[in-house]
Structure 1
Amino acid sequence: MKKTTYLLPILVIVVAGVLSSVFIVDEREKALVLQFGRVVTVKEDPGLAFKIPLIQEVVTYDDRILSREVGPLEVTPLDDRRLVVDAFARYRIADVTQFRQAVGAGGVELAERRLDNILRAQTREVLGSVRSDQVLSTERESLMNRIRDNAITEARSLGLEVIDVRLKRTDLPQANLEATFSRMRAEREREAADEIARGEEAAQRKRAQADRTVVELVSDAKRQSEISRGEADAQRNAIFAQAFGADPEFFEFYRSLNAYRASLTGGTSSMVLSPNSEFFNYFGDSQGR
């Protein structure tokens, strides 16, 4: 009976000691075995592991990719147009030993505060080296990559691996919105006025060119018509001369008939001529009476 009384507490102590020396490493975690605050062992593989009871303790850290939101941050690009930026980072604890040495018992909370400072400083530095239109354009991707690359270098001292940095929101401060919109409207109106002026100038050139082309075409047409008219008159005169040479009397008769047709038309016109005028030569008989 006495023997049982002594064995039972001993058995309980042994069982408690064995249980306190065993711990489980989850597949989503990494574990550190600490002895008096100093890292003794790193357990990265999932499963059972052992430690010395009472002397050693186990601290676990998440081995998954974590996210960290960076609150609104005001930056000033090269053109002095202030911007309010929201960002977030994706990171993981890459080196748990370095992580423990860097943050101590502060853990993830302290590490994230330091990571915030790194991200804010790098965001200000990178976005402050470019113009605001570059931040708002397709160059934004390369700027985020620059922030990430710079943050990777600094976060390595914390045992962290920065995987990605994204800019979620890039806006103007509320106090600057109206002034900025007014300036943008003025710039667009100036650009529109320049385009209209250039259009009017181009239209004037086109109209002047068209007017010149019209004058040239009309002048050339008149010149061609005068040439054709002159050639026709020359041909007509040649025909008249040939006819006159062939039969002068018939030619004279023909011309008189044309004169009669042109002058003796209906109307109110009157002609006062002597009956013996040469104009009436062909109104008499064959003897001219």
Structure 2
Amino acid sequence: MASRQFTVLLVVLGLIVLAYNSLFIVSETQRAVQLKFGEVVNPNVETGLHIKTPFVHTIRKFERRILTLDAPTQRYLTIEKKPLDVDYYAKWRVSETEKFYTATNGEEIRAEGLLAQRINTGLRDKFGERTFHEVVSGERDLLMTELTRDLNKITVREFGIELVDVRVKRIDLPTQVSQSVFDRMKSEREREAREHRSTGKEQAEKIRATADRQRTIIAANAYRDSEIIRGEGDAEASAIYAEAFSADPEFYAFVRSLEAYRKSFASKGDLLVVDTDDEFFRYLEQSGGK
């Protein structure tokens, strides 16, 4: 009885092992090839549940989704022989499972190594055909588009890999070159600053000279006008004085004498020594007012 139960248990275990080695599932996110003693017999196994012959057939599964290759920083030279440190990434996926398996043995690490070599060669060629300015700003998007298109033809043919996109994350100058570039940029900016300062000083001198000239002209015109007005005023005053004098010369002389007395004796300490017969006291001596 015990031996019979043991036999049944062995049979059940054998069936489980047989089923485990005979059934396999390919999910929607996977691609698979079926091998027979290492040779590809079905290069594109469909998704779902399948049966294979144990110990004869082998199933290799690969990722169907887009994968990312984040490459280490590489140094390339432009057409002017300027070194640039470039950090890039690539998007890729398996397009032909049989070719992918035979080229990489189905190993993603090996596939990324081969892909990185191709991309590095392509970037080196593309950078070597362009100037520093074109690589950094002007034609970088065009460069990446051309590189992706050209390399995709090669990777599909040789590795069964579809290269979806290649993008540059960062482009830097090497440390030893960056300092010289920054120094040159600094000297150029200082030169531009000196030019602006000299231009500003020149314009300031022109403005200052123009203002001084205008000030001199305005002052001269004002002085001329004031002298004209003063002369006209003096002439008018002289005319008035002459008219008043001609109307009553004696009275005019008397008023002028009184004004002279007032100014001469404005202070109590004033002392004037003159002859009593002097013309200055003529009206003081003539009490009759003649």
Instruction: Give the TM-score normalised by structure 2.
Output: 0.70
Q: Name the Cα RMSD after superposition.
A: 4.3
Q: Name the CA distance, whole Å, in 2 between partners of 1:278 and 1:235.
A: 29
Q: Name the CA distance, whole Å, in 1 between partners of 2:263 and 2:281.
A: 14
Report the residue type matching 2:116 in the other structure.
D
- One of 149, 159, 162 as aligned partner of 1:160: 162
1:120 is aligned to 120
**Map of 1:1-289 to 2, 5 A cutoff?**
19-34=20-35, 37-38=39-40, 40-43=42-45, 45=47, 47-51=48-52, 56-77=57-78, 81-89=82-90, 91-93=91-93, 95-97=95-97, 100=100, 103=103, 105=105, 107-128=107-128, 129-131=130-132, 135=136, 139=137, 143=140, 145-153=141-149, 154-158=151-155, 159-168=161-170, 170-258=171-259, 278=279, 280-285=281-286
Report the residue type matching 1:284 in the other structure.
E
Shift of 1:160: 1.7
Report the residue type matching 1:155 in the other structure.
N
Deviation per residue, 1:245-289 (Å, 9 max, x gap): 3323333333444555667777x9999977656555434316899
Q: Name the CA distance, whole Å, in 1 between partners of 2:247 and 2:238.
A: 14
Moved more, 270-279 or 224-233: 270-279
Q: Name the CA distance, whole Å, in 1 between partners of 2:199 and 2:274.
A: 72
Deviation per residue, 1:100-139 (Å, 9 max, x gap): 288353643343233223432444455552435972xxx3
Equivalenced residue count is 274
CA contact (8 A) 2:74 2:85 kept: yes
Q: 1:119 to 1:104 in 2, by over 3 A?
A: closer
Q: Name the CA distance, whole Å, in 2 between partners of 1:97 and 1:21.
A: 22
Q: Name the CA distance, whole Å, in 1 between partners of 2:135 and 2:213.
A: 48
Q: Give me the identity figure in percent.
A: 31
Instruction: Give the TM-score normalised by structure 1.
Output: 0.70
Moved more, 73-82 or 255-264: 255-264
